[in-house]
Structure 1
Amino acid sequence: MHVAADDLGRLGTDDRYRLRVLATARRLSRYDTISHWSAAALWGLPAVDGWPDEIHSTVPAGSGLCPNRTLRRHRTRTPEAETLHVAGLPVTSLARTVIDVAGTASFSAAVAVADAALFSVGRGDHDGLSLLSFRSALSGALDELGRAPGSARARRVIDFADERANRPGESLSRVTMHLIGAPPPELQFRVIGASGRIWHTDFGWPEFGAAAEFDGRAKYSDPQFLRSRTPADVVYDEKVREDDIRPSVRTFGRWDWSTARSPKRMASALQRLGVPVGRD
């Protein structure tokens, strides 16, 4: 696979790593299944801590295959029940991919992956998968792990994951709130604006009359969020929306990645909203 340097330079980090995964196709043995973070990339899942340097695959424990300069090979005694093909490569199923990441990555990065997978299933991106069947598949993949290393942390991630968190910044914010002992927010919090229009904010604490939004750069630059609007249009639309919401709540706040990642900044942001921080 050859990509012109100019074209490669225009790719984002997600696409560049995905391209590296695709480029390993001719180096795979018949036992290799793309897995962990490399499978997550092919499934379109986020990496809030950045992508790894290596390509990950899983092989049967008795295959005799070892890691090499190209592949970081994970061994399993439990054969993958559902190896699928994505972009022409053998890849662990979406559920198995989530569990593999959940058992090996940081809690925040793994929650972002699990949330994103659940959201994409709920949105109907995966034929034949419903939230109910996908949750069942996740439970089955957890059961296969048994008491293997990483099983407890994977279960913690799945128990915490929520399909209503539709952006990685929201997932990271939830994790940071959890770590500082803040009360869990209602996600996609329903607010009836002053105009009578119904809005949904990323986070809400009705008991404190507070609502908040995660505001990443993507909202003002990503075509998925722009929907044929200019960044200036989005800024204006957000202002109109916020002006309609504010009379219906006691406090309203916004934050970006720097706050979502920082316990200190998150604590300050929540306290300004009147949301208590710290467990009793």
Structure 2
Amino acid sequence: MKTHHRIEQLCNDAEQKRRCFYHTNDSERHAARTRVQRGLLVRPHRNVYARQAYWNSLNPAEQCRHVIRTLSTQYPNRTFAGISAAAMLNLEYSWSLNREGTIFLASSSGNSVRTHSSIQHVIIRRPPTHNVVHYLFNQQFCTLLMPANAPNTADSIMTNLPQNAILTNIVPVTSPARTLVDCGLQYPFVQAMAMFDSALRQGIVTREQVMEICDSLQKDCGPVLRLLRYTNPLNENGGESLCYATIIDEGFAVPELQHVFIAPQSPQGTFRVDFVWHTEDGRVIVLEFDGTEKYVDPAMTDNHSVQRVVNDERQREDFLKQAGVTAIIRVNYNEVRQRNPLVRKLLEAHVPMARAHPFYERYTDVQGRVW
């Protein structure tokens, strides 16, 4: 197919700025649609295009961010909310929440209905907002989060960026606290936990700020209060947050996170585990969440073979038992997602149930310490 130089230029510029492109005249519109029909471009949203190969290289959360950056460029007065704001704030969550490709916008009036097949409005009276600022610096794509009371013009924002930085996108979103409240009310406990954990881990919000939003709303914020009770920034990724939340949701005792065991017989001397329970009868139960990348990602395996990684894990378990651990549970993402395999392993290891013993119904502070 004959090269359309304008479309190529739009694609190149958009990819550099981590967004899609949109047409501005009939010639570009016709050329873009023709290339969509021939499989060279994709159209994930109305008047939003990208090279098919480039688009397929992005994970669902980054695809969502590309669409939002494009829409914000076209409509700079829009404020993004809900899971769309969570994506722009780089909060962790299950990519399945982006499956339908819906973009959520904050609106001060009207109804919470879809005005377009891929756009849904969230009614928020005077929403607290932040600007997610993206810029290029030393060939790196960087992000800066600026609160609502900061100047939001391009010239004012540039004063907060490093010298020689190139401003690429300014995306208004609901504040981190308001975003957590909206998502906590919309999604189940086990799906929202990763957002709360990652927001606290990044230090972009406090529990008190989330409580202030809840206090200002005339609605039942019970689900958000439950999330605040248990959220723990010591969960290092979304998989661990999902596992942690599922354990709690199934009624088991709240585990301690990232506990360090001293193992003098080991060359490392210490081992840190994902979850641990110290029971009243003296047992020490460890649960390790195994992400697939632990076995297939060279960056995680130091380029070792799967067999080498498995052998290392077995040796690690031997050292943990020498350090006093009485039971070790290993679970993966699919077992957590299906719930029953995780529950069966917890029951077989005799992990205490919180409902059976109030001592285990505990929560943590912002540093992850158990109260």
Alignment TM class, shorter chain as reference: 0.7 to 0.9
> Is 1:104–2:161 an aligned residue pair?
no
> Is 1:15–2:86 an aligned residue pair?
no
> Is 1:48–2:88 an aligned residue pair?
no
2:120 pairs, out of 72, 92, 107, with 72
Distance 1:96 1:189 in 2: 32
Q: Secondary structure at the match of 1:156?
A: helix
What do the CA deviations read for 1:208-266 (whole angstroms, capped 9, x no partner)? 3111111111333457x628645646555544433322322111121011221234222
Aligned residue for 1:243? 318
Q: CA deviation at 1:76?
A: 1.4
Aligned residue for 1:33? 79
Of all paired residues, the percent bearing the same amino acid is 25
Structure 1: segments with no counterpart, 5+ residues: 122-128
The answer on whether the counterparts of 1:102 and 1:157 sit within 8 Å (CA) in structure 2 is yes
Aligned residue for 1:138? 210
Q: CA deviation at 1:71?
A: 2.0
Check 1:9–1:263 CA distance in 2 against 1; reply closer, same or farther (3 A cut). Answer: closer
What do the CA deviations read for 1:53-101 (whole angstroms, capped 9, x no partner)? 21011121279x9733342111112x23342234421112222221211
Matches within 5 A, 1:74-89: 74-77=122-125, 79-87=126-134, 88-89=170-171
Distance 1:72 1:6 in 2: 28
* Alignment-mate amino acid for residue 92 of structure 1: T
* Alignment-mate amino acid for residue 174 of structure 2: T
Distance 1:234 1:199 in 2: 16
TM-score (normalizing by structure 2): 0.64
Distance 2:200 2:290 in 1: 21
Check 1:164–1:27 CA distance in 2 against 1; reply closer, same or farther (3 A cut). Answer: same
The answer on whether the counterparts of 2:254 and 2:354 sit within 8 Å (CA) in structure 1 is no
Aligned residue for 2:252? 182
Aligned residue for 1:164? 234
Structure 2: segments with no counterpart, 5+ residues: 1-20, 22-48, 135-169, 357-371
* Alignment-mate amino acid for residue 37 of structure 1: I
Q: Which structure has the highest helix share of the two?
A: 1
Runs (4+) off by over 6 Å: none
Q: Which has the larger radius of gyration?
A: 2
2:223 pairs, out of 136, 153, 162, with 153
* Alignment-mate amino acid for residue 80 of structure 2: I
Q: Secondary structure at the match of 1:7?
A: helix
TM-score (normalizing by structure 1): 0.82
> Is 1:265–2:341 an aligned residue pair?
yes
Aligned residue for 2:331? 255
The answer on whether the counterparts of 1:267 and 1:277 sit within 8 Å (CA) in structure 2 is no
- Cα RMSD of the aligned pairs, angstroms, is 2.8
Aligned residue for 2:273? 201
Q: Secondary structure at the match of 1:155?
A: helix
Q: Give the length in aligned residue pairs.
A: 265
Check 1:66–1:267 CA distance in 2 against 1; reply closer, same or farther (3 A cut). Answer: closer
Q: Secondary structure at the match of 1:33?
A: coil
